[in-house]
Amino acid sequence: MKTAIGFAAHPDDLEFSCTAKMKQLHDAGYRLIYVIITNGENGFKSTSESTAEQRIEIRKNEQLKVADLLGVDQVHFLDYRDGFLEYSEKLRSELVKLIKDYKPEIVFSFDPANKSFSSLNLLHRDHRVAAEVVFDACFAAKNFHMYPGERHQVKEMYFFASDKPNHFVDITDLIGFKLELLACHKSQFPDFSKVEKYIKEIVCNQSEQYKYSEAFRVLEVKQVT
C-alpha cells in the first residue's frame, strides 16, 4: 500500500494546507499518516482559565476528530512544547524512524525555502524549524549509514505554505470538506466565518486555473548515484 505522511508543527497546520490533496490520495488508495510535532497548547484562542494539560487534551481531540473524518490511519503526537521548537538530533532521529517505518512515497511539510519573513503567523519559529528538520530527515532516511534500519527514499515532497509554489491542485469540489475539517479545531476559531473567508479568498485562491486550489512547491527526489 502506498503511503503519504503529513508533518505538522501544530494541530490544524495540515488542515489549512493540504487536506484536500490528502483526501484525493486517500480515495486513490493511499494510507495517510499524521505526525504532529508540538502540542499546540500555546496557540489556544480561548481566554477561559485552563491548564496546559487541558489545552493539550483539547487540541489532540480536535486533531483526532479530523483524522477520523479524513480516514487517517495513524496520528503520532510527538509532544514538543508549542512555540519553543528547537532543531535537535532527538527530533530528527524521531522523524527518520517514522519515515523508515512507514516508507512513504509522498511527504507533506512546510517549505524550508520560505525565508521572506513576510508573515508572523506563517513564518514563525515552529514552522521554520519543522520545515528544516523534516527536509533533513528525508535526506537522512535514504542514507545507508546514518541511522539504523532499512533506508527509504521518499519520491516526492509537497511543501505547503510556500512563497514559490509550482504546483496547484484543483480542490473546487472539496472546498466544503476542507472547511469541515478545519472547523473541527474549535479552540482556534472564535469566529469561523473569518477563517472561511480567508481560506476561500486567500489560501485557496492562488491559481487562475481553478476556483479553489491547494498550492505546493513539489520536489521530486532523485538519486543521482
Q: Is 201 exposed, middle or buried (0-12, 13-18, 19+ CB in 10 A)?
A: exposed
Residue 91: CB partners within 8 Å, gap ≥ 6? 37, 78, 80, 85, 133
**Whether the predicted pLDDT of 63 surpasses 70:** yes
Q: For residues 141-155, give the mean pLDDT.
A: 96
Crossing angle for the helix pair 52-70 and 19-27, to the nearest 10 degrees: 40
Please give the Cα distance from 180 to 185 (Å, whole number).
10
The mean pLDDT value of the chain amounts to 95
- Please give the grid coordinates belonging to residue 214: 491547494
**Whether the predicted pLDDT of 85 surpasses 70:** yes
Please give the Cα distance from 40 to 59 (Å, whole number).
7
Residue 47's pLDDT is what?
64
pLDDT, one tens digit per residue, over 2-14 is 999 999 999 999 9
Q: 3-220, which class in CATH?
A: alpha beta
Cβ pair 159, 113 in contact under 8 A? yes
Cβ pair 39, 139 in contact under 8 A? no
